[in-house]
Amino acid sequence: MSKELIYKCEKVLVEHPKVSEAIIGVEDERWVKMAVAYIVPSDCSISFKELDRFCKYHD
């Protein structure tokens, strides 16, 4: 996963109104395509489904 793509993903995540911070980390060098997003919610009612839908339909 390129640094540019990681930056774009982090930018989209923090645009969600219930996310205050986000960082993408690559878990294992052998699985470069596998990344994990760590978020700090600004509203604890956020769900994975809500965030997933937001990211899928983000312009």
| pLDDT at residue 24, as a whole number | 87
Query: Would you state the structure tokens that stand for residue 57, as one six-digit string?
Result: 């339909």
- In this predicted structure, the answer to whether residue 55 has a pLDDT above a threshold of 70 is yes
Contact 35, 2 (CB under 8 A): no
| pLDDT at residue 19, as a whole number | 96
Residue 14 structural domain? 3-56
Q: Please compute the mean of the pLDDT values over residues 42-47 and round it to a whole number.
A: 94
| pLDDT at residue 1, as a whole number | 64
| pLDDT at residue 14, as a whole number | 94
Q: Please compute the mean of the pLDDT values over residues 12-40 and round it to a whole number.
A: 83
| CATH (domain of 44) | 3.30.300.30
Contact 6, 24 (CB under 8 A): yes
CB count within 10 Å of CB 6 equals: 16
Number of domains in the chain: 1
Q: What angle do CA 29, 16, 43 make, to 5 degrees?
A: 100
Cβ neighbours for 31, distance < 8 A, ≥ 6 positions apart: none
54: confidence class by pLDDT, cuts 50, 70, 90 = very high
